Structures are given as structure tokens and as C-alpha cells.
Chains A and B, each alone.
Chain A
Amino acid sequence: MSEFRPTLRPALATKQAVASAALKLSPLPEGTIVHVLARPGEQDVVSFLGSLAKPAAHAVRPVSPGQWFIVHEEPMPHKEMKSLFAALEPRATGVDQSHGRVRIRIEGKMASRALSKGTAVDLDPSAFPVGQSAVTLIGHIAAHVTRVGPEAFEIIVLRGFAESLWDDLARMSLEFT
């Protein structure tokens, strides 16, 4: 048997902190991300998901028509996830993306200015209020962006692109740090 053992470490564990009074970049805990895909024609899936997710701990982020992410800071125990998947059926299907995607937080009064260098989405609070999500390109990398506070964004990106996107965001933030 091979001596080789894959080790699971956070994707951004080796990254230097980026922080100043105007802007802060931080990796979010690699907790739970469940990708939910509704069957075509299903109505009121949002309220259905709201009833399944624990309102205080789980956030439901719209992704695209008929698709959502359920996000949680803590890893979800296997049994709990199995019962969540069972409860989703037959109206929707859940896919565990907890190890497949990584979350990054960018906050501060210059956060939207820095992000705007990479995306064409209008991040003005009137067009992109708290709770709003969008899937967009940040530079050359597709990412899911949510405004989680007046001056704070959560970015969900595929794990393989996380380091690259972090480096891009750090470079975009240079003038503010």
C-alpha cells in the first residue's frame, strides 16, 4: 500500500493576509456549500429551501434560474446532509460542493472599488443591495458574488481557481492597502 496520504488543508491557508483600514481580504471557513438544482417548472423553491435550511445558521444564495447555494460556516455532518438531500427530493437535487468551492470575503469602504476592476456587474448599493448575488467573471475567473453587508462581499469560487483569484484580488487591492 502506498505511503502517500492526501492531506486536506484549506485552499488559501498559505496566503498572506491583506488588510488595511480601507480594505480587508480574508478566506472564509471551509464549512458547507450545497448546490441545489430544482426540477424544471418547480415553483416557490425559495420558500421551500428556507423551510429546510436552519434560518440562523444557513444562508440561501441564488445562483441562476432554478439553482441556489446553501451556505453554512460549519461543516455539515454526513447524516445531516443525507437527510437534507432526501428532503429536497423530488422537487430539487442537492450536490455537496463543500470541498469543491471556496469562499473569500472582501470588505471595507474600498471593497466595491477593488472588485469593480474585475467585474462589469454594477456594485452600487442601489443596483446591488445587501443579499443580492450574481455569477460573473472577475478578470478571467468565474465567481459567485454576494453583497453580505453594506461594505462586504462574499465570493464563492471553484477550489482550483481559489488561489489564483486570491492573488488577483490582492493585486487589485494593492492601491488601497
Chain B
Amino acid sequence: MASLVPCPHCGQRPKEEFTIKGAALARPAADADAVDWFDYVYLRDNPRGAYEEYWHHTSGCRRWIVVTRDTVTHEVAASRDAADRARSEART
């Protein structure tokens, strides 16, 4: 149990308790161009460094969270409930 992921609800937990989904990207509007949807569904930057990812705390609170993580050092800068993130983005 090496890599710890901070859950905003449960605290530090081993990565084994989570399911990782991948990049947390802004979803295009339902009627957006096919090019935008293709980009959203298939294309990933795979950056070296800072990255925003969806993690699901599958064996814990079962909430989706958004983790801001460095892919090189595994330093975690932030961890938020995905619903809170969606709400805060809806306001801006």
C-alpha cells in the first residue's frame, strides 16, 4: 500500500480502494460539433506533470472525486468531490 490518494470525505486512502477513470475534461455541449466530441471521447494529451483526473472511491464512500496530481512525482495538489467541482464550474 504505497500510493495514497486523499479523498475529501474519507482522508488518505491507498490507491487500491479507488478506480481511476482518467482525465477530468470539460464535457462539450450536447449539440457541439462532432470534432469537439471526438476530441473529448478519444484524444488525450497524456501530460508529464500536472494532471486532473477522475477517481472513484469504489471501496470507500463511492463518490467520484477529481484529483489534481503530478504524474511524475505523484504529489497531489488538490482533491475535490466531482459534484462540488461541477457546481463551482456551473457558477462561473
Contact = CB atoms under 8 A, between A and B. Distances in A.
Given A64-B9, A120-B13, A120-B14, A135 B63 contact: no
Most B Cβ at <10 Å: residue of A63, A120, A134: A120
Contact of A65 (B17, B58, B61): B61
Given A65-B9, A65-B81, A120-B1, A137 B16 contact: yes
A64 B62 contact: yes
B9 A136 contact: no
Contacts of B63: 64-65
A28 interface: no
A36 B77 CA distance: 33
Contact of A136 (B4, B17, B81, B83): B17
* Chain B, interface residues (CB within 8 Å), range: 10 to 19
A64 B13 CA distance: 14
Interface string B1-43: 1001000011011101100000000000000000000000000
Contacts of B14: 120, 137
B1 A64 contact: no
Contact of A64 (B17, B60, B83): B60
Interface of A: 40, 63-65, 120-121, 134-137, 142
Interface of B: 1, 4, 9-10, 12-14, 16-17, 58-63, 81, 83
